[in-house]
Structure 1
Amino acid sequence: MTTNTASTGPVWDWAAGHGPVTGALSATTGCLAVATTGAAAGMPPGWALAIGAAGAIGHTVTSLRDRLAARTIGMRAASWLIGAGWTTWAMATGPLSWAALGSLATIGVGIGAAARSTLLYEEARELEAIAAAERQVARALSAERRAIAAEWVDRIQRVCGITLRILAVEMWPTGTGFTIDAELPAGGTTYDKIAGYSAQLSADARLPHGCTAVASQGIHQGRVLIDVTTVNVLVEERTYPSDYGPLSIYTGIPWGYRTNAEEICVYLREQCALVVGPTGSGKTNMVHVILAGFARTTDVLTWVIDLNAGSAGLPWVRPALDANGAFVEDMRPGVDWLASTYEEALVMLETALAIGGHRKVAYQDLMAERNTDQLPISAKIPQIMLVIDEGAEILVSSDKRMRKLAEKILEVIRMLRAMGIRTVLTALGATGSVLGNLMIRREAKARVCLTGGEVEGMDLGKVFPGSRGLKVDQAPYKGAGFMGTPESPAALFKNWRILPNQIRDIVAATSDMHPQLDDISRQAAGDAYANRWAPERTAWMRATTHTPVDSGQTSGRPGGLNLSALRKEQPPAGPSKADEEELARKFREQIDAQFATAPEPGAEEQEQPPTGQGLNLSALRGDADSGPAWLPDAIAAIRSAGAAGMKPSAVADLVGRSRQAVRDALKAAAERGELVYRDKGPHSVYVHPDHA
């Protein structure tokens, strides 16, 4: 029986079991109490002996059931019989004599000593039984490992012509394979000679499809590790782990799992990444897995460029929008910035370059204090990860505008590593045109190639130069492929399936984890970053949250204007042209009465409303007054150029038209008030009214 010290004093723990001392004390005091009570009450002494015999028989039965040692069973039975014998004698002769009390004390000491001895013996028996079981398992494992070692020594000798000395065979805890640690023979044999026979070894071992035998570097150059997968974990689909806990750019971000079912992480503080995957291989899902990891990272801000309507980043923004298209209170989008157009992408890249350049100067004291030539990334100074969907295709595009984006992307990759701005590019194919850029091959050390069984355009040798034994048909499943990082050689992997409801859950769960852009970087980013979620720049996101209005009759239907003049196709039947012109004139007069609109060409000059307000129904006037089709893109580019404006020659290079045609169109746009002309002689420029 033990005692626990509490604030009110010692407390008896009645649930505790008896030890050698408390057990002997309990037995002797019990015998004394029974003998004293029996003698005073005149109880027949034989009853005590009968009770002791029954106790000895009961303990013997329970001890046998518990498989206790013979000495333990004998000690317990003897304790009952000796205690019963003393009680019978004491009841007959008197329990309170010195002889009775002395003999009882002697019996108590003997019972305590015997109990202690048998307890130690039982503990030793239990430990020995456990050790024996472990030795039996070890013998079985050792026999299995010896069989595996002998089998693979023979196989490698037969297939590769190399005689190995296997030092250890480690079974994977997941039960999906094992690793062989072997010593290479003398004479300069290297591990990559075995790596080149990966497919032959897998076939010789009759491994299931999706299972491989891959050789990699050992603890030194004279050792080799051979990972043998025996269970194909790539065939099953696993959802993204439900643990949305915080991550860091320094601790690694999980992007999938290997064939041994272990997670594989990327470390992107200094490295860029490249993800290659043809249509149907699971590349879009992979992008969402990447964005999920960045959303959980407490020292990363994610900027996404997707010129395909922003489809890669939009699911990470929409959960933070309410039914009216406004951001939900206390919820931040899963990405920090999303660009779906050329103009927005250009602004984003220029902002990244401005931030990186300013950081190089403004954080010199901090880097000197930390004694490092790299900016110390933290939640206060977050890293910016630019995820550019199909960015590799942008780099090889022949389009003039795409070439300008490509120059900015390469400038970010080349100049901003130390300042904590890195990129993740995706590509549709592993071809020479995509991977021919030296900058990509040098900086994108974390590489993923999703195959999905696709063979065309999947040159694994270009994605993972120097890696041997990689074959597309080893990963025929959607979401499966090969992944290599500086920390982990190229090998089979698979990414998790992430569903839209999980994206919503991750956005909600990680909203409080996202860092804020540091003040120094925010100062360099200016209004381009501060207004990234402005309504006029995110209207395309909000449009997806509303049901489109029927483009039929407008009268009697709520929901906005039916600007049918903007549609190329007109109804075949309807009013005459004169009636349409009269209707359009009345319609403009009604709108002018309520809203400020653009003036009619040739009308008298009137006070212009503030830029960006009201409706410009210039589409109702026909195409003759609105300029050529490329003019809106040119005006958008001039607006993006800010107060510096653009020269007509620069605009001509941008839109791919002759300089004379561009000058005429820009002059007409300036006369309409869409642009402002600044005459500076040979340095004359056109400026958008927003920056005039």
Structure 2
Amino acid sequence: MTTNTQANTGPVWDYSAGHGPVTGALSATTGAFAVATTGAATGMPPTWALAIGTAGAIGHTITSLRDRLSARTVSMRAASWLVGAGWTTWAMTTGPLSWAALGSLATIGVGMGAAARATLLYEEARELEAIAAAERQVARELSTERRAIAAEWVDRIQRVCGITVRVVAVEMWPTGTGFTIDAELPAGGTTYDRIAREAARLSADARLPHGCTATASQGIDQGRVLIDVTTVNVLEAEITYPADYSPLSLHTGIPWGLRTNADEIRAYLREQCALVVGPTGSGKTNMVHTILAGFARTTDVLTWVIDLNAGSAGLPWVRPALESSGQTTDGMRPGIDWLAASHEEAMAMLDAAVRIAKHRKMAYQDLMSQANTDLLPISDRIPQIMLVIDEGAEILAAPDKPSRALAAKILEVIRIARAMGIRTVLTALGATGSVLGNLMIRREAKVRVALTGGETEGMDLSKQFPGSRGLRVDQAPYKGSGFMGTPESPAGLFKSWRILPNQIRDIVAATSDRHPTLDAVSAKAAGPDYARRWDMARTAWMRDDTLSSTPAEPQTPTSGYLAGGLNLSALRDERTPVVETDEEALARKFREQIDAQFATAPEPGTDAPSSGKPPTAGLNLSALRSEDNAAKEAALAVLLAAGPEGTGASAIARALADEHGTTRQTVVGWLKTWAEEGIAVRVGEGTKTRYVHHRHAPEAP
């Protein structure tokens, strides 16, 4: 321990370090003195010292020339060897211990140190000047390249567009994929779109590769133009979504892809809605997942997804956080906050959004007054709700009644909820008049994406990006490529990232603890539809075993039928004994009570009614009636249980959806029939329509 302490407290010598001006002179003088005293004492011939000094001078001259040192440095080093050797020879002859010898040696040492310091500073200055000269040479070469580009494009613009511009600057992109020309337009009121509408001809004249363009946009003022020239096709390659899942914020923008210069393009959706258009095979679904990935990474956004195509857009973001029973796990939250795959669930979601928007307007007046703004301050405590509606534009244009009801509610959300932090992202299969014909969509959806994939049918870019010139579908023929425009960035080519299912699972896991929770004010307004969105009954369809590709195994004889198959009672051998379950016995007793009270028609195959009227001849479809009758009887039971307040078709359909899968349209037909037969009484009109069982109707005895 003592040894280590002593070693640590002593001076540290670096024996590999070179000599500086002082140590070099000291080493040379002490070496010369040592050689002189030793030689004088031993009678060494003095000419040996002179020979050694000469050899050292020659060797250092050779190495200095090889290192391309200056002549001053070479001369200083050679002189130091020769002077040292000369003193050593003289001292060996006359005696090194005289005051004359010692004084002259000290003088030589000081001179060597000063000369070494001077040459060292000179070499440093010489090296810096060489570096600066090289940089100036590179700058001259680059300037030459830029001047050549400027001259070439001045001539090209004159030839193609018929105007003469003056190039102010040429900026080379760091990615090496192109450059930007900043030019002054000629006097006389020439505008930048004079060049913008000739983008295709300019690209052809420049012989740019396919997928590369020369697009013009507004400059720093109205008399300037910026021309972005892409020289390398970056749209063709597949680009994976970045593995950086760091937190994002709605206020700083959410990246949706890359421009042709490899810069990220961000969507700012605090006040804007978005419209994403892409035909089948263009990468639209992948783009939706990219959008959901960005929302999942934010700390101030909750994502609600409506996808009437079996919820396929949102399921990959929910399934990693679900148990086998369809419930969300305690350790992981889904990547989205709510998923609707049916008209009924979508309507419940949109109704909740409308209630939240209206309630926020009243409840947060003081907060907005303190912040001196008419926009609700969005944060992790009061998150924004982003409604992503896959093929939502088609819902707006659909003629059927359920879709019309959803469309009206979607437009209401877009119309009233901007200031209160609820915005939408709609997707569509094409940029057509039926999709873009709605004024509300054109006015609010300022963030627009067109994934072309080379498809020309239904891709009218002039309708989706009005005012933008030179955009052609054939410029982006690759999957995941297209055009994107925002209020902050004009419409131009971009490439969407490729995101795979395993990466979606990674993002769900990495961002699970980052998602905000709906503020108490909004949660209260959303009501039980939101609070119970992950209930087992409403998420059971998301489970792995909801649909099976293997045939159902036959159940025990007590079931009376094959699981998951048709109950073909009319085709069964009546001699085969069938044992009723408790549920079937209860259903049979209930049917008997209904028949006894309402004199319903007998089942086909039973005896004719007591009226004596012969049974109507026809096809016996009893094998196809059992499930329908059960659902209808269950609906009648729900109507009876509703009491004097009554209920509507949507509520009955939701009550039967899990067990029977009954749709709202079917329930509407039953209610109309019951109203005509007197079993139910219709109360109210329009959206306030409800039905009351005749036993609870006001006119009932």
TM-score norm. by structure 1 comes to: 0.84
Residues 274 and 426, structure 1, Cα contact 8 Å, conserved in 2: yes
Q: Counterpart in 2 of 1:125?
A: 126
User: In structure 2, what is the Cα distance between the partners aligned to 1:236 and 1:354?
Assistant: 45
Task: Answer yes or no: is 1:389 the counterpart of 2:390.
Answer: yes
Using the TM superposition, name which of 265-274 and 341-350 deviates more: 341-350
* TM-aligned CA distance change 1:135 to 1:624, over 3 Å: same
- The CA deviation string for residues 336-362 of structure 1, in whole angstroms up to 9 with x for no partner, is 221111122122222222222232233
Aligned residues: 644
Residues 435 and 463, structure 1, Cα contact 8 Å, conserved in 2: yes
Q: Counterpart in 1 of 2:417?
A: 416
Q: Counterpart in 1 of 2:29?
A: 28
Which one of 576, 581, 587 corresponds to residue 588 of structure 1?
A: 581
User: In structure 2, what is the Cα distance between the partners aligned to 1:123 and 1:447?
Assistant: 57
Q: Counterpart in 1 of 2:300?
A: 299
Residues 302 and 383, structure 2, Cα contact 8 Å, conserved in 1: yes
* TM-aligned CA distance change 1:658 to 1:74, over 3 Å: same
Give 3-state SS (helix, strand or coil) of 1:242's partner.
coil
User: In structure 2, what is the Cα distance between the partners aligned to 1:630 and 1:396?
Assistant: 32
* TM-aligned CA distance change 1:354 to 1:62, over 3 Å: farther
Which runs of structure 2 are paired with 1:228-377 in the superposition (5 Å)? 228-322=229-323, 325-377=326-378
Using the TM superposition, name which of 350-359 and 38-47 deviates more: 38-47
Which runs of structure 2 are paired with 1:488-507 in the superposition (5 Å)? 488-507=489-508
Quote the offset at 1:387 in angstroms.
Answer: 0.8
Residue ranges of structure 2 left out of the alignment (5+ in a row):
1-6, 596-622, 640-646, 656-662, 694-701
Give 3-state SS (helix, strand or coil) of 1:385's partner.
strand
Residues 555 and 561, structure 2, Cα contact 8 Å, conserved in 1: no
* TM-aligned CA distance change 1:418 to 1:38, over 3 Å: farther
Quote the offset at 1:165 in angstroms.
Answer: 1.1
* TM-aligned CA distance change 1:44 to 1:187, over 3 Å: same
Which one of 672, 675, 682 corresponds to residue 663 of structure 1?
A: 675
Q: Counterpart in 1 of 2:599?
A: none
Quote the offset at 1:41 in angstroms.
Answer: 6.4
* TM-aligned CA distance change 1:308 to 1:42, over 3 Å: farther
Task: Answer yes or no: is 1:626 the counterpart of 2:631.
Answer: yes
Q: Which amino acid aligns with 2:206?
A: A
Quote the offset at 1:414 in angstroms.
Answer: 1.5
User: In structure 2, what is the Cα distance between the partners aligned to 1:251 and 1:418?
Assistant: 18
Residues 554 and 562, structure 2, Cα contact 8 Å, conserved in 1: no
Give 3-state SS (helix, strand or coil) of 1:600's partner.
helix
Which one of 651, 659, 671 corresponds to residue 638 of structure 1?
A: 651
Residues 326 and 536, structure 2, Cα contact 8 Å, conserved in 1: no
- The CA deviation string for residues 179-221 of structure 1, in whole angstroms up to 9 with x for no partner, is 1111100000000111011111111112111111101001100
Give 3-state SS (helix, strand or coil) of 1:332's partner.
coil
* TM-aligned CA distance change 1:627 to 1:18, over 3 Å: same
Give 3-state SS (helix, strand or coil) of 2:413's partner.
helix
* TM-aligned CA distance change 1:101 to 1:463, over 3 Å: same
User: In structure 1, what is the Cα distance between the partners aligned to 2:450 and 2:684?
Assistant: 52
User: In structure 2, what is the Cα distance between the partners aligned to 1:667 and 1:41?
Assistant: 138
Give 3-state SS (helix, strand or coil) of 2:592's partner.
coil
Residues 566 and 620, structure 1, Cα contact 8 Å, conserved in 2: no
Residues 192 and 216, structure 2, Cα contact 8 Å, conserved in 1: yes
User: In structure 2, what is the Cα distance between the partners aligned to 1:534 and 1:569?
Assistant: 30
Which runs of structure 2 are paired with 1:543-558 in the superposition (5 Å)? 543-544=544-545, 550-555=551-556
Q: Counterpart in 2 of 1:171?
A: 172
Q: Counterpart in 2 of 1:192?
A: 193
* TM-aligned CA distance change 1:113 to 1:163, over 3 Å: same
Q: Which amino acid aligns with 1:132?
A: A
Task: Answer yes or no: is 1:221 the counterpart of 2:222.
Answer: yes
User: In structure 2, what is the Cα distance between the partners aligned to 1:322 and 1:652?
Assistant: 29
* TM-aligned CA distance change 1:393 to 1:86, over 3 Å: same
Give 3-state SS (helix, strand or coil) of 1:189's partner.
coil
* TM-aligned CA distance change 1:132 to 1:652, over 3 Å: closer
User: In structure 2, what is the Cα distance between the partners aligned to 1:476 and 1:602?
Assistant: 66
Q: Counterpart in 2 of 1:602?
A: 592
Task: Name which one, 1 or 2, has greater alpha-carbon Rg.
Answer: 2
- The CA deviation string for residues 458-482 of structure 1, in whole angstroms up to 9 with x for no partner, is 1111100111111111111111111
Which runs of structure 2 are paired with 1:439-518 in the superposition (5 Å)? 439-518=440-519
Q: Counterpart in 1 of 2:696?
A: none
User: In structure 2, what is the Cα distance between the partners aligned to 1:326 and 1:372?
Assistant: 40
Give 3-state SS (helix, strand or coil) of 2:241's partner.
coil
Q: Which amino acid aligns with 1:499?
A: L
Residues 567 and 626, structure 2, Cα contact 8 Å, conserved in 1: no
Residue ranges of structure 1 left out of the alignment (5+ in a row):
1-5, 606-617, 643-650, 669-676
- The CA deviation string for residues 129-172 of structure 1, in whole angstroms up to 9 with x for no partner, is 22222222222222222222222112111111111111122221
Give 3-state SS (helix, strand or coil) of 1:481's partner.
strand
User: In structure 1, what is the Cα distance between the partners aligned to 2:559 and 2:177?
Assistant: 63
Residues 628 and 665, structure 1, Cα contact 8 Å, conserved in 2: no
Q: Which amino acid aligns with 2:591?
A: P
Residues 552 and 564, structure 2, Cα contact 8 Å, conserved in 1: no
Quote the offset at 1:568 in angstroms.
Answer: 4.7
Q: Counterpart in 2 of 1:3?
A: none
Q: Counterpart in 1 of 2:74?
A: 73
Give 3-state SS (helix, strand or coil) of 1:510's partner.
helix
* TM-aligned CA distance change 1:518 to 1:81, over 3 Å: farther
* TM-aligned CA distance change 1:307 to 1:679, over 3 Å: closer
User: In structure 1, what is the Cα distance between the partners aligned to 2:324 and 2:664?
Assistant: 42
- The CA deviation string for residues 91-117 of structure 1, in whole angstroms up to 9 with x for no partner, is 554445433333233222222222222
Using the TM superposition, name which of 513-522 and 336-345 deviates more: 513-522
Q: Which amino acid aligns with 1:456?
A: E
Give 3-state SS (helix, strand or coil) of 1:311's partner.
coil
Q: Which amino acid aligns with 1:168?
A: A
- The CA deviation string for residues 525-578 of structure 1, in whole angstroms up to 9 with x for no partner, is 33322322221111111145885563242249xxx9796486458599x741x2
Quote the offset at 1:322 in angstroms.
Answer: 4.8
Using the TM superposition, name which of 206-215 and 8-17 deviates more: 8-17
Quote the offset at 1:599 in angstroms.
Answer: 5.3
- The CA deviation string for residues 638-664 of structure 1, in whole angstroms up to 9 with x for no partner, is 16999xxxxxxxx99997659742536
Residues 565 and 620, structure 1, Cα contact 8 Å, conserved in 2: no
Give 3-state SS (helix, strand or coil) of 1:163's partner.
coil
Identical counterparts, % of pairs: 70
Residues 653 and 667, structure 2, Cα contact 8 Å, conserved in 1: no
- The CA deviation string for residues 27-56 of structure 1, in whole angstroms up to 9 with x for no partner, is 334444555566566665555444434433
* TM-aligned CA distance change 1:101 to 1:430, over 3 Å: same
Using the TM superposition, name which of 463-472 and 321-330 deviates more: 321-330
Residues 566 and 619, structure 1, Cα contact 8 Å, conserved in 2: no
Give 3-state SS (helix, strand or coil) of 2:304's partner.
strand
TM-score norm. by structure 2 comes to: 0.83
Give 3-state SS (helix, strand or coil) of 2:443's partner.
helix
User: In structure 1, what is the Cα distance between the partners aligned to 2:677 and 2:339?
Assistant: 32
Q: Which amino acid aligns with 2:651?
A: I
Give 3-state SS (helix, strand or coil) of 2:410's partner.
helix
Which runs of structure 2 are paired with 1:148-167 in the superposition (5 Å)? 148-167=149-168
Residues 385 and 424, structure 1, Cα contact 8 Å, conserved in 2: yes
* TM-aligned CA distance change 1:35 to 1:385, over 3 Å: farther
Residues 269 and 420, structure 1, Cα contact 8 Å, conserved in 2: yes
